[in-house]
Amino acid sequence: AQGISRYNISKKKVLEIPIFKPSLNEQNKIGHFLSNVDVLIAATQSRLSSLELLKKALLQDLFI
Find the Cα–Cα–Cα–Cα dihedral 54, 55, 58, 63, rounded to 10°: -150
pLDDT at 64: 76
Q: Quick: pLDDT tens for 17-51.
A: 999 999 999 999 999 999 999 999 999 999 999 99
Please tell me the distance from the alpha carbon of residue 12 to that of residue 14, in angstroms, as a whole number: 5
Please report which confidence band the pLDDT of residue 6 belongs to, taking 50, 70 and 90 as the band edges.
Answer: confident
Q: Which helix (H) or strand (E) holds 6?
A: none
DSSP state of 22: -
Q: Which helix (H) or strand (E) holds 14?
A: helix 11-16
